[in-house]
Amino acid sequence: MNDRWLRREFEGWGRYRRAVSLAAAPVRADELPGLLQEASAGSTIAFGAGRSYGDSALNDGRRTLETAALDRARSFDRERGIFACEAGISLAQILDVIVPDGWFLPVTPGTRFPTIGGCLAADVHGKNHHVAGSLARHVRSFDLLLADGATVTCSRDENPDLFAATAGGIGLTGIITRVELQLQPIENTFMFARHIRTGSLAETMEMLAIHDEEWPYTVAWLDSTAGGGALGRGEVILGRHAALADLPVSKRARRLRRPEPAKFAMPVTPPVSLVTPATIRAFNEIYYRRGGPEPDRAGLESAYRYFYPLDAAAGWNRCYGPRGFVQYQFVVPEDAAEATVREMLRACQSEGHPSALTVLKRFGDGEGWLSFPAAGWTLALDIPVRPGLLPLLDRFDRQVADSGGRVYLAKDARLAAETFREMYPDYPRWLAVKRRVDPECRFSSDQSRRLRIDDDVRAG
């Protein structure tokens, strides 16, 4: 064994899936082709910041290429907001560079710790998906290291099929080494946000649908423990980047602030989960009432608290104890949405698997292939792993697939191979590209083997 490859344990963010593999952590992008060569014909996968919840970045008993040290900014056109960087740079590091010049990420997930390469491989979406689409829409080009050791540039015009297969392609087409992004301008790092408390699922969905036109960022938090007529009650959170004129004079002096470090850290994994039906009930009740007597409030908030509330507590995933949790996120078309969401919330309650954190959002049109977002409604449920959960999620999968929907691969830890094929109708187009650029499956993961993607590639 070459000493650049060290045995290491990896886990998905849900801590339900783990893997031990030989890992190398290059510090320069030009080391990557050599490392890939050393891995010879064996399977390798890129590991960014490990913020995917399941086994997309895991490769048990095989090889892992860690990209987080490939974190350099390459160029920044401050006039036009065009930023190029290595793929292992985190969103937090990008914000550090771009915010002082009045630019922000065009699309951001609910944490600033993932790498930009990992975000492109998952084609992440944010609260502005209904107006801005997913990340790929804002990527001008990227470089991709292929299985044969060649690096190619991909854009909408250059290698467009590799562009489409890699955005959302969950690391299986190659290693992204450079990304060029079109940023969006901001006048300050504050959001003008409105929080509307709702009393039922119908009201939550109606509020989101009504306000989608007017607000660029829309999302709802649901109280997963409320039942009866209050099922699906929650808080609709609307936002837009604040204009300079929205700021009081006291905030104008430091109007472009960098993100602050986490305020709290969970240093160890407790021997049992702190997230139980009782604590979930208490947390949801407190959160639902957090606005006090005012059911509709608006005002200025820090952009970082608005976009990344969970980042305030480092290592919060450890609260779920040694068994971890699964994030189940799906999207279904408009006509199936209310019934599907209602039924799932009810089933989680009645079968003793309450979701600790539940988020609902209406998507705009999707980009296709293996990218997750599609027109309709998406629900994300964070559910502790306990006996009986997996059969329940299998039933949810059936319902989602029958409604023409899909689950998000970057969150997935347990989807069945056949159901994956039903959910992703563009998979054959993606597979044709994968067979062309990686016929021996040098890039594969625990997830790709579980979904039997590798079998399909080799059978081609």
Q: List residues near ligand FAD by CB under 6 A.
A: 13, 45-52, 56-57, 67, 87, 109-111, 114-115, 117-119, 121-122, 124-126, 170-171, 175-176, 310, 410, 445
As measured in angstroms, the least distance from the Cβ of 380 to ligand FAD is 8
Using the minimum distance from each CB to ligand FAD, give the nearer residue, 226 or 327.
327
**Minimum CB distance to ligand FAD, residue 359 (Å):** 8
Q: Which is nearer to ligand FAD, 87 or 105 (CB)?
A: 87
C-beta of 370 vs 389, nearer to ligand FAD: 370
Could you tell me the end-to-end alpha-carbon distance of the chain, in angstroms, rounded to an integer? 32
Nearest Cα neighbor of 312 from 266, 358, 359, 360 is 266
Closest approach of ligand FAD to the CB of residue 124, in Å: 3
- Closest to ligand FAD by CB, 51 vs 62, is 51
How far from 150 is each of 30, 66, 175, CA to CA, in Å?
11, 19, 11
Helix (H, G, I), strand (E, B) or coil at 220: strand
Which residue from 454, 367, 443, 457 is spatially nearest to 170, judged by alpha carbons? 443
Which of 173, 226 has the CB closer to ligand FAD? 173
Gap between the Cα atoms of 89 and 126, Å rounded: 19
Write down the least CB distance from residue 189 to ligand FAD, Å.
19
- Local structure of residue 90 (DSSP, 8 states): B
Q: How far is CA 162 from CA 19, 99, 172, 218, 442, in A?
A: 28, 31, 11, 31, 16
Beta partners for residue 264, in sequence order: 313
At closest approach, how far in Å is the CB of 122 from ligand FAD?
A: 3
Q: How far is the CB of 112 from ligand FAD (least distance, A)?
A: 9
- Contact (Cβ atoms closer than 8 angstroms) between residue 401 and residue 198: no
- The two beta strands, 190-198 and 184-185, are unpaired
Smallest distance from ligand FAD to CB 350, Å: 27
Q: How far is the CB of 15 from ligand FAD (least distance, A)?
A: 11
Closer residue to ligand FAD (CB): 121 or 407: 121
For residue 175, report the phi and psi dihedrals to the nearest 5 degrees.
-105, 120
Minimum gap (Å) between residue 228 Cβ and ligand FAD: 30
Minimal distance in Å, beta carbon 78 to ligand FAD? 25
| Complex with ligand FAD: residue 118 or 384, whichever CB lies closer | 118
Compute the distance between CA of residue 266 and CA of residue 289 in angstroms, rounded to an integer: 25
Q: Which residue has the tokens 């997309």?
A: 56
Tell me if 242 sits within 8 A of 187, measured CB to CB. yes
Nearer to ligand FAD among residue 189 and residue 327 (C-beta): 327
CB 71 within 8 A of CB 90: yes
If the CB atoms of residues 231 and 307 are measured against ligand FAD, the closer one turns out to be 307
> Which CB sits closer to ligand FAD, 155 or 200?
155
Instruction: State the nearest-atom distance from the C-beta of 229 to ligand FAD, in Å.
Output: 29
DSSP string of 277-341, one letter each residue: HHHHHHHHHHHHTTTTT-SEEEEEEEHHHHH-GGGGEETGGGGGTTT-EEEEEEEE-HHHHHHHH
Toward ligand FAD, which CB reaches closer, 71 or 203? Answer: 71
> What is the Cα–Cα distance from 187 to 102, expressed in whole angstroms?
6
Q: Which residues of 264-297 are buried (b: 16+ CB within 10 A; e: fewer)?
A: eeeeebeeebebeeeebeebbeeebeeeeeeeee
- How many other CB atoms sit within 10 Å of the CB of residue 80? 11
